[in-house]
Amino acid sequence: MRHQSVALIGGSGFIGAHLANALVAAGKTVRLATRSRARARHLTMLPIDVLEIDVFDPVALARFVEGADAVVNLVGTLHGGRGRPYGREFARAHVELPAKIVSACEGKGVHRLVHISALNADPAGPSMYLRSKGDGEKAVRAGSRLATTIFRPSVVFGPQDNFLNTFAVLQRLLPVIPLAKPDAKFQPVFVGDVASAIVNTLDLDAASGRTYELGGPTVYTLEALVKFCGDAIGRHARIVRLPDALAYMQAMTFEMLPGAPVLTRDNLDSMTRDAVLSGPLAPELGIEPASMEAIAPAYLGNASLRSRFSAFRTTAGR
């Protein structure tokens, strides 16, 4: 079945901007929901409809999805208040919103739903982030009348990412980086490959009911990623490997500072599970994942310090 009209929820963020471009290139008609049109000003040159709505309002959400052939949910947050099994922010963004999206789609006759989750999402996971992502997947699968596909990416890299750019910024600013969880493993995936995987499976009947993991060709430790960023900018901070007790003290300190924290205790809990694929990429995704070495040095090395610092300040905010 061809899904021509696609509604993006959370589409003004990092992944959403690349996905909107990929959908337009594939000939799709795209509408995008955002909390503020100013947040989506970087997309105004695209032939898409940008609508300022509160997606947490069921009435506004239903109006937004009405007439769409497919909906893609990209909303996510890395940080939130503490609670059991997770804090209010995680519950609202990762569990309650997907349930509302399912209800809106079923109420308006939308057939197709694509949901972006996270590698290691698990209702019994070690962190609030992973537990809420796991419960969000359960909410999506509850849509019995929907053709749903769930994607679980590892950490996503690309221009304007808030991961590699942060480590580049830190090494330009600091002579020493006290590094928590240096041996945590990641399998970074290029944002363009994430967008391609979504587009390639949007009209694929065989993708209905499937959950796909997304990762790049190489597994790295966190320490190796920091060193990679130093190589890219030609400046290496000395890495001090923190034991877990000091790492959690560091995270608690960041949590008490004003603004969005660079690191939280919940982030550390998430890193107790390696963010690596359990097997090879599914062939129907139609992607040959790009290597970090082929793409990241160009944007890490050429971006201005000012733009990198802007990325650093917004790190804790998908």
**CATH number for the domain whose boundaries are 5-157+187-217+283-289:** 3.40.50.720
Task: Work out the average pLDDT over 36-59.
Answer: 89
Please give the C-alpha separations between residue 295 and each of 45, 73, 210, 221, in angstroms, as whole numbers.
Answer: 24, 26, 29, 19
Average pLDDT over residues 184-209: 97
When pLDDT is cut at 50, 70 and 90, the band that residue 144 belongs to is: confident
pLDDT for 172 beyond 90: yes
Extents of the domains making up the chain: 5-157+187-217+283-289
- Give the pairing of strands 220-221 and 185-186: antiparallel
Is the pLDDT confidence value at 111 over 90?
A: yes
pLDDT of amino acid 38: 79
Q: Which two tokens stand for residue 128?
A: 């609030």
Please choose, from the candidates 160, 65, 155, the residue with its C-alpha nearest in 3D space to the C-alpha of residue 110: 65
What confidence score (pLDDT) does residue 311 get?
A: 41
Average pLDDT estimate for 87-94: 97
Q: Return mean pLDDT, the chain.
A: 92
pLDDT at 142: 92
Banded pLDDT at 1 (limits 50, 70, 90) = low
Distance of alpha carbon 89 from alpha carbon 219, whole angstroms: 30
pLDDT (tens digit per residue) in 295-311: 999 999 865 444 444 44
The token duo for 230 is 């130093």
CB 168 within 8 A of CB 308: yes
Q: Pseudo-torsion of CA 192, 4, 11, 84, nearest 10°?
A: -100
In the predicted structure, residue 222 carries a pLDDT above the cut 60 = yes
User: 256: burial class by Cβ within 10 Å (0-12, 13-18, 19+)?
Assistant: exposed
Strand locations in the chain, DSSP E? 5-9, 29-34, 49-52, 70-73, 112-116, 147-153, 156-157, 176-179, 185-186, 189-190, 210-214, 220-221, 238-241
Cβ-count burial of 84 within 10 angstroms (0-12 exposed, 13-18 middle, 19+ buried)?
exposed
pLDDT digits (tens, 9 = 90+) for 262-296: 899 999 999 999 999 999 999 999 999 999 999 99
Integer Cα distance of 288 and 37 in angstroms: 34
